[in-house]
Amino acid sequence: MKTYLATKNAGKLGEIRNMLAGSPIDLHTYDGYIDPVEGDDSYVANALLKARALREQLQLAGIHDAVLADDSGIELDALDGGPGVLSARYAGETTPWPQRLETMMSEVRHVPEDRRGARFICVMALITPDGREIVVEGDVRGQITTELRGTNGFGYDPIFYYPPIGKTFGEIPEAEKNELSHRGRAARALLEALAA
């Protein structure tokens, strides 16, 4: 099924491309995609907003294939679940990543280790050519580190420590991250939902 991905995030695109390689979803991008202004309400609402926006833009261009969108975020226990849906704008929309990561680490430095917990969450919304909307999610729990660890991945990966392997997502190859991550779990749930 030819499917266009609604994202401006190159990190997500690379991961989703690899996750869906060899699956029934034949992934494409659309250069003309204009991303909508996201809300601060829920991942599901934002994922559907992005998918519906791309679907509408494609239809205007005479393309009637499926679309897929991902809305994700990181939730810190120390911030009572923040920044959550606002993760892309945390510490300021245009703040460079090193500074954004530093700000997040400074939030956990003063809290005991058992309050440094965090969760990555990913909601994927797929709209089939006939307009059926499928929404799935995946999450993974870990801890925020107090120093940068690793240079792999993107976004918050270098400060997201995953205790079962004793490494951050910035310290492991992408294929391993995809096995463990919120996005990998959501992608597997999506393929299961499609098969059903």
Catalytic residues: 71
Where helices occur in the chain by DSSP H, the ranges are 10-20, 43-60, 97-109, 174-180, 182-195
The answer to whether residue 174 forms part of the interface with ligand ITT (CB under 6 A) is no
The contact pattern for ligand ITT, residues 88-127, with x = CB under 6 A and - = no contact, is x-------------------------------x-------
Residue nearest to ligand ITT (CB): 155
- 14, two tokens: 């690379």
* Residue type at 75 in one-letter notation: E
Provide the β-strand partners of residue 134.
126
Are the C-beta atoms of 26 and 2 separated by less than 8 Å? yes
Q: Is 72 in the site for ligand ITT (CB under 6 A)?
A: yes
x/- track of binding to ligand ITT for residues 1-20 (CB under 6 A)? ------xxx--x--------
**Contact status: 154 vs ligand ITT (CB under 6 A):** yes
Q: Does 170 engage in binding with ligand ITT (CB under 6 A)?
A: no
If one asks whether residue 87 binds ligand ITT (CB under 6 A), the answer comes out as yes
Residue 8 CA to residue 97 CA, distance in Å, equals 16
**Piece of the chain touching ligand ITT by CB under 6 A; list 52-60, 69-77, 101-109, 139-147:** 69-77
To the nearest whole angstrom, how small is the minimum distance from the Cβ of residue 196 to ligand ITT? 26
93-103 burial string, b = 16+ CB within 10 Å, else e? eeeeeeebbee
Residue whose CB is less far from ligand ITT, 9 or 146: 9
Alpha carbon separation from 44 to 3, 79, 80, 96, 138 (Å, rounded): 19, 21, 20, 27, 12
* Footprint of ligand ITT (CB under 6 A): 7-9, 12, 35, 38, 50, 70-74, 87-88, 120, 153-157, 181, 183
